[in-house]
Amino acid sequence: MGKLPKFDFPTFGGENPQFWITCAKNYFDMYHVQPSVWVRFSTMHFTRAAARWFQSMEQQISASDWPTFCALIHERFSRDQHELLRQLFNIRHTSTVSDYIDRFVALVEQLSSYTTNPDPLYFTTRFIDGLHDDTRSVILIQRPSNLDTACTLALL
């Protein structure tokens, strides 16, 4: 591997904790940072809600190793999977198809971070079920095999 350009360490304000953890780990791996300083280095880049949380938990966090620290972050900042599933069951096509797709895909992406192999047919079926009746019937005839195909058909 050649010389890497200098990248800034990602800040964390409390949003998308799994993505931030992945980015932080990638940074540490790319720059060969010693694991013993990962937690201390990371908390120096906390902002907003994460910074407030760190202040209230500083002693416990400072004594943590990286896996424990990541578990604490998930415990505090990960959205409740049950709430996301409830939203997925109740999401409906109420305005434009594009808006519905954006809202639905955002939920799917959040839910997918909880499992390594999400079932694509499940999400495709849930998406179709939330469409207006007239749009749903047209999409069902096509029998889309994945969410991307169903979204594309709905936009036609």
Helices (H), the chain: 17-30, 38-43, 48-62, 66-77, 81-90, 97-112, 120-129, 133-142, 147-155
0.75 exceeded by pTM: no
Report the pLDDT value the prediction gives residue 64, as an integer from 0 to 100. Answer: 94
- How many Å from the N-terminal Cα to the C-terminal Cα in the chain? 45
Longest dimension (CA), the chain: 59
Q: What is the pLDDT along the chain (156 residues), one digit of tens a residue?
A: 567 678 899 999 998 888 899 999 999 999 999 999 999 999 999 999 999 999 999 999 989 999 999 999 988 988 777 888 899 999 999 999 999 999 999 999 888 877 777 788 999 999 999 999 999 999 999 999 999 999 999 999
